[in-house]
Amino acid sequence: MTDFPSPEPLLAALPPALRTDAARRYAEHGPLLYSRLAALYGERPDFHAWYGELLRTIGGLLAARPADLLALDARRSGDSRWFLHQQMLGYSAYAARFGGTLAGVGRRIEHLRTLGVNYLHLLPFLRAREGENDGGFAVASFSEIDPALGTMDDLETLCAQLRAADISLCADFVLNHVADDHAWARGAMAGDPRLREFFHVFPDRTMPDRHERGLGQVFPEAAPGNFTFVPALQGWVWTTFYPFQWDLNYANPHVLGEIAAALLQLANRGVEVFRLDSTAFLWKREGTASMNQPEAHALLQALRAIAAIAAPAVLLKAEAIVPTRDLPAYLGEPGVPECHFAYHSTLMAASWAALAEQDAGLLRDVVAGTPTPPPGASWLTYVRCHDDIGWKILAAEAGGDTERLAAIARFFNGAGGSFAAGVPFQSGAAAAVHATNGMAAALAGYETAAGPLARELALRRLLLVHGVAFAFGGMPVLYMGDELGMGNDHGYREDPQRAHDTRWVQRPVFDEAVLAQRDDPDAWTGRVFTALRALVEQRRRCPSLAADVPRTLLPTHDPALLALARGERFLALFNFSDRSLTVALPALGAGTWPGYAGEVELAPWDMRWLHR
Ligand code: OTU
């Protein structure tokens, strides 16, 4: 690479103490950064000028990084495995619903610590669009906090408070689209040609119609189609999600430059992890579904290199809700790092499917289809989140049997005497497969439970799906309220801005009255919390459950059984059925386990973790 540009623009603004480190990091990550950006944008006549400008921006942001965060950078560089330890436990919440404000979130630290959490993912807290805003996922400004939640100073304070309690803050970073009232969109509508280029705008339906042939639908009922006509643009703008969320045009390098700077600015406030929203959609290509394109990965690799140079403590987390075979690419490969974490969405969906089918077949296929991440990367495992469970991502494991997936969806929506009390999402037609919403407790059978025995079974099912997320290998993230067994919240139906979006059924307000029962052994809440807390503790004490210990799927004789080994010293058995199972360990090829004379008895919906 004879024309590999000099790091001078990066280093120019740096004090001598930072120059050496920055030069070393640029020597390590610069070649990949440059090669990815040259591949994406190298044909443009202004490429080299733009690249120099990008380095200058990154250097300026590194120069502005506060001393405590530089110290964090140094600490984390000395322990690149820190987020792979089995002590890592995440928690995800809306700031408004969890603590009222950012300052209120700080007052929940005791609860997080009691649970064993050291990673807090707050859903979007930046200033969002006026009116309907998709739960904050229509961002109007990357440099302002939602005024109802506080200020940038409050964010800094919260980050510092969390860091002092050994909790890393993860912020949602919505980089696929911005709100239609973001300054870039407003400028485009006002006729600024430079800002029009920030979006995919088409003068007529010719190109939108051609793209539509390959595209899917994320919100087929509330927001059908992927393009929205905007009179002020005299054209159609690409809107994968709601019409008020305009997809950014990453074929334009200035978009990437702005987004990278916005990310580093938040990192300089103390955000340690970025949940990169909707990463699968970043690059569009006619004739495809415009998901998982190689250029989307090149963009993520470039962002990773930028963070590694200017804020090395920062971790990136990919949110790509895609089939199992498309997930590993988001973690990169040896020598080509991409995101540190990726959501394991099919593991999540298949765990629930196993409860519905009383058959762990889909789940076993997902496990078998999941490769070990490259060094320094990890799965993010979870049971529920603020979004729906989309059943179609299991299509490959189900062999294209959509009726099978539709039956799972019906089950969770409560059909045929099912224990589940979920709510369909974007699938009014009875035959439609789309997705299900609901709090974990409601999906596991708590709401339909008529007596103590039924409640006991609901608790076991809740622990079973959490057990998979805890034992699989990766960092588990609990979803706010699930740790207390909170139920569905139907209040959104009264709010015209939210009534059409049933995901709000699982976005309740964190309830003080429920929290007060956390340690009550006779209350449902106390039982859920105590049992989950015990599972967290068991995991913390078991080094075999670190993210980078190899996983083996053991052959089982019963379709309802999942048997998962981690390394040589840990075995987990899960009974996804309402029958009792006797598991002969020799038949699994699992050898001998102290305390078990060759057999393990599993009660209905029970699991067992064996260590040696
Ligand atoms: C993400 O999700 C967010 O998690 C959603 O809350 C947002 O609505 C959406 O992006 C737009 O910002 O496909 O991979 O409920 O699974 O919208 C990205 C459907 C996504 C979500 C889907 C999603």
CA angle 524/122/489 to nearest 5° reads 40
Report the 3 state secondary structure along 396-422. Answer: CCCCCCHHHHHHHHHHHCCHHHCCCCC
- Ligand 1 centroid distance, CA of 112 (Å): 25
Q: What spacing in Å lies between the alpha carbon of 67 and ligand 1's midpoint?
A: 35
Q: Which residue in the list 134, 154, 181, 319 is annotated as catalytic?
A: 319
Question: Is the per-residue pLDDT at 220 higher than 90?
Answer: no
Per-residue pLDDT tens over the stretch 294-311: 999 999 999 999 999 999
564, β-bridge pairs: 553, 572
Nearest-atom index, ligand 1, CA of 279: 14
What would the two tokens of residue 306 be? 């930028």
Question: In angstroms, what is the span from residue 45 Cα to ligand 1's centroid?
Answer: 36
Distance CA 337, CA 374 (A): 8
What was the pLDDT predicted at 430? 52
pLDDT at 1: 44
Tokens of 170: 């993860």
The end-to-end CA distance of the chain, in Å, is 52
Please, where are the H alpha helices in 327-424?
Answer: 345-357, 361-368, 402-412
Among 129, 217, 277, 394, say which to mutate for ligand 1: greatest number of ligand atoms within 8 Å of CB: 277
- Reading the block at residue 119, the tokens are 């990673």
According to DSSP, residue 198 is labeled: T
Q: How far is the CA of 574 from the centre of ligand 1 (A)?
A: 30
What confidence tens digit (pLDDT) does each residue in 63-77 have? 999 999 999 999 999
| 477 Cα–ligand 1 center, Å | 17
Q: If you take atom 12 of ligand 1, which residue's CA is the nearest one?
A: 137
Domain positions in the chain: 1-176+254-319, 551-611
The pLDDT value recorded for residue 596 is: 87
Higher per-residue confidence, 481 vs 5:
481
Report the nearest atom of ligand 1 relative to the CA of 137: 12
Q: Is 376 exposed, middle or buried (0-12, 13-18, 19+ CB in 10 A)?
A: middle
- The string of pLDDT tens digits covering residues 550-603 is 999 999 999 999 999 999 999 999 999 999 999 999 999 988 888 888 999 999
Q: 290: helix, coil or strand?
A: coil
pLDDT of residue 2 exceeding 50, the answer is: no
Contact predicate 188/199, CB 8 Å: yes
- Please give the model's pTM, rounded to 2 decimal places: 0.97
- Arithmetic mean of pLDDT, 143-161: 98
Token pair 């298949």 is at which residue?
Answer: 350
Q: Which atom of ligand 1 is nearest to the CA of 425?
A: 15
pLDDT value of position 217: 86
Could you tell me the two tokens for 516? 């007060």
- Ligand 1, atom 5, lies closest to the CA of 387
**CA–centroid distance for 413 within its chain:** 24
Which atom belonging to ligand 1 lies closest to the Cα atom of 320?
A: 14
Share of the chain above pLDDT 90, in %: 93
Whole-number Å distance, alpha carbon 337 to ligand 1 midpoint, is 24
**pLDDT at residue 428 is higher than 90:** no
Give, using CA atoms, the residue closest to atom 21 of ligand 1: 387
Q: Which distant-in-sequence residues (6+ apart) come within 8 Å of 599 by Cβ?
A: 582, 583, 584, 585
The one-letter amino acid at 401: D
| Distance in Å, CA 425 to ligand 1 centroid | 13
Q: What is the mean pLDDT of residues 530-546?
A: 98
Q: What is the mean pLDDT of residues 121-139?
A: 97
- Is the CATH number of domain 551-611 3.40.50.2300? no
Q: What is the three-class DSSP state of 191?
A: coil
Q: Look over the chain and give the mean of its residue pLDDT values, rounded to a whole number.
A: 96
Ligand 1 pocket: which residues have CB below 6 Å?
134-135, 137, 174, 218, 241, 277-278, 280, 319-321, 386-388, 390
> Which range, of 145-159, 209-223, 391-405, 569-583, averages the lowest pLDDT?
209-223
- Ligand 1 atom with the smallest distance to the CA of 388 is 15
Question: Is the pLDDT assigned to residue 415 strictly greater than 90?
Answer: no
Closest C-alpha residue for ligand 1 atom 4: 387
Specify the pLDDT at position 193. Answer: 98
Confidence of residue 432 (pLDDT cuts 50, 70, 90): low
Q: How far apart are alpha carbons 508 and 492 in whole angstroms?
A: 9
Judge contact between 158 and 148, C-beta under 8 A.
no
Say what the pLDDT of residue 3 is.
Answer: 61
C-alpha 606 – ligand 1 centre gap (Å): 32
Whose Cα sits closest to atom 22 in ligand 1? 218
Residue pLDDT, tens place only, 162-180? 999 999 999 999 999 999 9
Instruction: Check the CA dihedral 234-238-242-247 and report its sign.
Output: negative
pLDDT, tens digit (0-9, with 9 covering 90-100), for 435-451: 999 999 999 999 999 99
Q: What is the pLDDT of residues 495-514, one digit of tens each?
A: 999 999 999 999 999 999 99
Q: Which amino acid is at 273?
A: V
pLDDT of amino acid 245: 98
Task: Output the residue whose Cα is nearest ligand 1's atom 14.
Answer: 278
Q: Which protein residue's CA is at the shortest distance from atom 6 of ligand 1?
A: 387
Say what the pLDDT of residue 429 is.
58
Give, using CA atoms, the residue closest to atom 2 of ligand 1: 278
Average pLDDT over residues 96-111: 98
| CA–CA gap between residue 419 and residue 449 (Å, rounded) | 7
Angle CA(450)–CA(452)–CA(454) in degrees, nearest 5? 55
Q: Is the per-residue pLDDT at 340 higher than 50?
A: yes
Residue 601 contacts residue 582 (beta carbons within 8 Å): yes
Residue 397 has pLDDT above 90, yes or no: yes
Residue of 137, 170, 330 to mutate, ligand 1, most atoms within 8 A of C-beta = 137
The residue behind tokens 């080299």 is: 48
Pairing status of strand 168-173 against strand 119-122:
parallel
Tokens of 299: 């963009």
Give the tokens for residue 172: 């949602």
CA-based radius of gyration for the chain: 24
Please answer whether residues 125 and 143 qualify as being in contact, where contact means their C-beta atoms are separated by less than 8 angstroms: no
More confident residue, 427 or 272: 272
CA separation for the pair 231, 237 (Å, rounded): 10
Nearest CA to ligand 1 atom 7: 137
Q: Rounded to whole angstroms, how far apart are CA atoms 531 and 115?
A: 11
* Known catalytic membership, residue 397: no
* Pocket probe mutation, ligand 1, options 180, 218, 339, max atoms within 8 Å of Cβ: 218
Residue of 172, 245, 321 with the most ligand 1 atoms within 8 Å of its CB, for mutation: 321
pLDDT at 486 over 80: yes
Mean pLDDT is lowest, of 74-83, 360-369, 456-465, for 74-83
Contacts of 388 (CB under 8 A, 6+ apart): 425, 426, 434, 435, 436, 437, 502, 503
- 277 is a catalytic site residue: yes
Residue among 247, 258, 272, 277 flagged as catalytic: 277
User: What does CATH list as the number for 1-176+254-319?
Assistant: 3.20.20.80
Q: Give the containing element (helix H, strand E) for 611.
A: strand 607-611
Distance 240 CA to ligand 1 centre (A): 10
pLDDT digits (tens, 9 = 90+) for 8-39: 999 999 999 999 999 999 999 999 999 999 99
Which atom of ligand 1 approaches the CA of 385 most closely? 4
Ligand 1 centroid to Cα of residue 321, in Å, is 8
